[in-house]
């Protein structure tokens, strides 16, 4: 059995999870905090219900497969095929009524992400990939995804969910990159990687990610012609500090800066976009700030 044999089943998983989630979106749903500390790490009945539905379908159709999910843990992680599920990536956006979230469904084969899908049921978009190709499906039809060429930081658009999710050292390294790009924006979660695959932005930099945050996105980014690694240049499948780029030339430059091999003096992080902006026009202009701080596990 090849990965392509699972495509129709993954489409059904996406539809079933979306049908479970949508009745909760933009309603007065209950929110639990998975973090015992001060910071909010939200989970809702929509998260739990969607993952439960997908788990049940997988067990009925492929009982020999393993499952790793954000809400209900791990079963048979050493199986040849393992499903990696994040029912709502971007729960903070979800509970805020913002449609910048998605359901992540990945199938790994012998430990490597082989196929991934990001489904946004409210907008009606699906992004999928198998490392060799990537596809968009939406209200405008279907089309192949392809990253755009961008070799220079001065021409690049950079996204991160929020620098506040980074520790001080990582935030400083991120700032070295941020001050060199044409445009820096915050927010997006899984959508940022899909927009990179679609050729609308050039770099995504994150830290403290889990396997369920990245497993579905790797085949999409790679399938569209991009590259996704850790800050050290290793495989991204285990999560951690992650960088994705649409152009390998740009990726090599970003890795060197994140590793401290080359950099310009970093400006201190600030909640004030005007204070954070460099004096020269067209470099490092911050167009938005994340209003909410949160723990690394809140995606």
Annotated binding-site members for Mg(2+): 70, 86, 88-89, 213
CA geometry: angle 55, 209, 23, nearest 5 deg: 45
Start-to-end CA distance of the chain, whole Å, equals 33
CB atoms near residue 59 (< 10 Å): 14
Distance CA 246, CA 269 (A): 26
Q: Which residues are annotated as a binding site?
A: 70, 86, 88-89, 213
The CA-based angle 50-53-59, given to 5 degrees, is 140
| Angle (nearest 5°) at CA 68 between 243 and 99 | 60
Whether the CB-CB separation of 114 and 131 falls below 8 Å is answered with yes
Tell me the CA distances in angstroms from 290 to 8, 173, 178, 219, 226, one per residue in order. 37, 18, 15, 27, 26
Cα(26)–Cα(202) distance, rounded to whole angstroms?
31
Instruction: Provide the β-strand partners of residue 134.
Output: 129
């Amino acid at each position: 059995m090849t990965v392509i044999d699972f495509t129709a089943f993954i489409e059904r998983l996406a539809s079933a999870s979306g049908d479970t989630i949508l009745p909760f979106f933009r309603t007065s749903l209950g929110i639990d905090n998975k973090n015992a500390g001060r910071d909010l790490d939200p989970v809702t009945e929509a998260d739990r219900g969607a993952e439960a539905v997908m788990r049940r379908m997988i067990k009925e159709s492929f009982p020999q497969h393993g499952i790793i999910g954000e809400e209900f843990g791990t079963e048979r992680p050493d199986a040849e095929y393992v499903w990696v599920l994040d029912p709502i990536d971007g729960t903070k956006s979800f509970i805020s009524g913002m449609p910048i979230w998605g359901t992540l469904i990945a199938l790994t084969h012998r430990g490597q992400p082989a196929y991934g899908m990001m489904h946004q049921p409210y907008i009606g978009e699906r992004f999928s990939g198998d490392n060799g190709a990537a596809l968009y499906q939406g209200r405008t039809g279907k089309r192949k995804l392809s990253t755009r060429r961008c070799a220079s930081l001065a021409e690049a658009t950079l996204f991160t969910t929020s620098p506040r999710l980074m520790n001080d050292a990582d935030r400083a390294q991120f700032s070295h990159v941020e001050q060199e790009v044409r445009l820096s924006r915050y927010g997006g979660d899984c959508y940022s990687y899909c927009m990179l695959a679609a050729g609308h932005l050039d770099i995504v930099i994150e830290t403290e990610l889990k396997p369920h945050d990245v497993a579905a996105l790797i085949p999409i980014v790679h399938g569209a012609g991009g590259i996704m690694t850790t800050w050290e240049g290793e495989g991204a499948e285990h999560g951690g500090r992650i960088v994705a780029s649409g152009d390998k030339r740009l990726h090599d430059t970003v890795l060197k800066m994140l590793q401290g091999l080359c950099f310009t003096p970093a400006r201190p992080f600030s909640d004030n976009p005007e204070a954070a902006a460099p004096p020269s026009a067209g470099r490092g202009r911050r167009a938005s700030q994340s209003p909410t701080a949160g723990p690394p596990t809140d995606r």
